[in-house]
């Protein structure tokens, strides 16, 4: 029972590190109780302990999913708790695998090297990197997502991406654990015995690395600010108006009151345009309830219509704002090769000031159980079990939008796509000069999830060194600068608008060039260590 309580408390505190604010500090030491309780245990026992630690951690870190499941799927009491427990238990397997791998690898490594610090470093760090790279989580939850509260620390993601923290945070936890354990062993040494030495070497090395990272991060923030200032002087800027309507959206992503909600969007847009010239108005996800139909020619959208009516004529009647407009709709097109079956997409549509069609992009990464049902294409009857699940399709490829007349390229991410580092990185690699995030976080309720979504997504601005502008129905609508600062924002759950001038930026960071290479390197190291350990355990060498 004591072990269970310790794991529960430690898991809860570790999950709390992913809430907005300075609690992210706990991530640097939050694994210590788990490491203590798996040291010397059989891999199966460590796996179970790691699973409970991780399940509790995810439940505390993302408690709002209980509300989301209940409200979106309309599940009855009991079933809601079951689904939530299964979701958290699935993600808890991340720490189960991490603990099991460490318990399996540390003994032969310690025997071979004769050093506990080297053994834990070689066991824990490659396993953490490999798991972050390949673990099939529904909601990505990397170690680095806890660190936005201290901007100098996170500047390193422009070099290695979040893989940097899959190295630093587990390594720091290992160093703290070994030091604390050595203190405990010294306190238990009997009179006349030579006390064991303090294991401070790994911790001291990590302290130097983190200090250097802090100094380098502060330098990079100043350098990025200078680059933005120089780019602003060229005059190639984009003034955006971000609308936060805070409107009630039904669970099927359509309006409860179409005309009333459209009136809110138009009124806020008109107010935003009164302050001066605006180059682009951005509406959040799911806030225009029409279906935009289109065909494809050479992979590009053509012949758009709105619920079967001419595109421009219909939009001019309903959206009078004289500015370029980017809004989220449900796009519909025939499937491949002229089939009569229609396909629907979560789509961002760009129009010109006269409401004529410019271009569109479809969402590429869909949310399981929300926008599609896993295996639903092979077993269509499954959709009858979850009638609230949309049957959407992913975009065939990522594309940029270009805003005339300055021809500024946008990388548009929809809903939770901003959680996906590699996905957003590809936009920067394609040449996106500005990141635009459209979301409707009404599904997360009124808790801290709205702020958490902002802090997780803000790291994409640092990784790519681009401005990130967010239009979110219930908030947090914000502008994040390339150093990761929230330059300006609207409070959540309030109607309003935000008008800001941002600077389109070019160039590719080392992370944009490297992509997943750091994760691949860590995975290769883990496989090499695991193969060596397997041979040593199997053949005694």
pLDDT in tens, 107-154: 998 888 878 888 889 999 999 999 999 998 877 779 999 999 999 999
Give the pLDDT band of residue 188 (cuts 50, 70, 90): confident
For residues 377-396, give the mean pLDDT: 73
Assess whether pLDDT exceeds 70 at residue 537: yes
CATH of 237-502 among 3.40.50.970, 3.40.50.1970, 3.60.110.10, 3.40.50.300: 3.60.110.10
- Tell me which residue of 508, 426, 521, 402 sits closest to 465, measured CA to CA: 508
Contact 19/57 with Cβ under 8 angstroms?
Answer: no
Taken in order 302, 306, 309, 314, the sign of the CA dihedral is negative
Q: Cis ω on the peptide bond leading into residue 476 (within 30° of 0)?
A: yes
Rg for the chain (alpha carbons), in Å?
Answer: 25
Considering only 28-32, 231-235, 376-380, which range has the smallest mean pLDDT?
A: 376-380
CATH 3.60.110.10 segments of the chain: 237-502
Question: Out of 219-233, 268-282, 332-346, 463-477, which region has the weakest mean confidence (pLDDT)?
Answer: 332-346
Q: What angle do CA 428, 291, 328 make, to 5 degrees?
A: 30
Tell the burial category of 402 from Cβ atoms under 10 Å away from its Cβ (0-12, 13-18, 19+).
middle
H or E element at residue 384: helix 382-385
What number of CA atoms fall less than 13 Å from residue 233's CA on the CB side?
5
CA distance 248 to 363: 22
Give residue 36's pLDDT band: very low, low, confident or very high (50, 70, 90).
Answer: very high
Token representation of residue 259: 């005309």
Among 73-77, 282-286, 530-534, where is mean pLDDT lowest? 73-77
State how far the Cα of 476 lies from the Cα of 452, in Å rounded to an integer.
10
- DSSP summary character for residue 257: S
**Residues, the chain, total?**
541
Sequence-distant (≥ 6) Cβ neighbours of residue 75 within 8 angstroms:
69, 83
pLDDT at 76 over 80: no
Quick: pLDDT tens for 196-241.
777 787 888 889 999 999 999 999 999 999 999 999 999 899 999 9
Among 260, 329, 244, 265, smallest CA distance to 294 is for 329
Share of the chain above pLDDT 70, in %: 93
> Residue 80: its pLDDT value, please?
83
Specify the pLDDT at position 405.
83
């Amino acid at each position: 029972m004591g072990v269970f309580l310790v794991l529960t408390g430690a898991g809860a505190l570790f999950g709390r590190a992913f809430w907005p604010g300075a609690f992210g500090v706990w991530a640097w030491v939050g694994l210590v109780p788990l490491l203590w309780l798996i040291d010397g245990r059989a891999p199966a026992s460590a796996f179970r302990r790691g699973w409970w630690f991780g399940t509790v951690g995810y439940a505390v870190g993302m408690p709002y999913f209980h509300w989301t499941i209940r409200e979106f799927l309309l599940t009855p009491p009991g079933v809601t708790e079951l689904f939530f427990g299964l979701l958290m238990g699935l993600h808890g397997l991340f720490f189960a695998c991490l603990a099991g791998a460490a318990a399996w690898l540390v003994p032969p490594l310690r025997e071979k090297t004769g050093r506990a610090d080297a053994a834990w470093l070689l066991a824990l760090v490659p396993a953490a990197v490999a798991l972050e790279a390949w673990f099939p989580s529904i909601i990505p939850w990397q170690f680095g997502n806890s660190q936005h509260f201290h901007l100098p620390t996170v500047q390193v993601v422009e070099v290695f991406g979040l893989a940097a923290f899959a190295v630093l945070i587990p390594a720091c936890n290992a160093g703290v654990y070994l030091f604390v354990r050595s203190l405990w062993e010294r306190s238990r040494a009997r009179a006349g015995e030579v006390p064991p030495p303090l294991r401070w070497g790994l911790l001291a090395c990590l302290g130097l690395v983190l200090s250097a990272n802090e100094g380098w991060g502060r330098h990079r923030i100043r350098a990025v600010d200078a680059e933005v200032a120089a780019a602003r002087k060229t005059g190639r800027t984009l003034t955006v108006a971000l609308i936060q309507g805070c409107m009630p959206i039904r669970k099927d992503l359509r309006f409860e009151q179409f005309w009333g909600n459209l009136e809110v969007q138009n009124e806020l847009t008109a107010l935003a345009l009164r302050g001066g010239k605006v180059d682009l108005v951005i509406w959040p996800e799911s806030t225009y309830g029409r279906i935009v139909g289109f065909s494809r020619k050479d992979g590009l959208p053509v012949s758009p219509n709105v619920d079967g009516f001419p595109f421009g004529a219909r939009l001019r009647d309903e959206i009078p704002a004289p500015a370029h407009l980017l809004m989220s709709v449900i796009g519909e097109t025939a499937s491949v090769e002229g089939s009569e079956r229609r396909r629907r997409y979560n789509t961002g549509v760009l129009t010109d000031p006269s409401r004529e069609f410019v271009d569109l992009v479809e969402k590429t990464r869909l949310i399981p159980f929300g926008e599609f049902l896993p295996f639903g294409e092979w077993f269509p009857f499954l959709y009858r079990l979850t009638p609230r699940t949309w049957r959407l399709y992913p975009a065939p490829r990522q594309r940029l939008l270009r805003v005339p007349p300055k021809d500024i390229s946008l990388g548009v991410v929809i809903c939770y796509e901003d959680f996906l580092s590699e996905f957003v990185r590809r936009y920067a690699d394609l040449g996106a000069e500005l990141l635009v995030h459209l979301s409707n976080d009404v599904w997360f309720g009124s808790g801290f999830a709205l702020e958490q979504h902002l802090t997780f997504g803000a790291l994409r601005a640092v990784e790519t060194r681009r401005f990130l502008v967010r239009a979110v129905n219930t908030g947090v609508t914000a502008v994040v600068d390339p150093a990761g600062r929230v330059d300006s924002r609207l409070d959540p759950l309030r109607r309003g608008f935000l008008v800001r001038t941002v600077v389109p930026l070019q160039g590719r960071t080392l992370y944009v060039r490297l992509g997943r290479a750091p994760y691949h390197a860590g995975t290769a190291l883990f496989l090499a260590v695991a193969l060596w350990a397997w041979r040593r355990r199997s053949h005694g060498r």
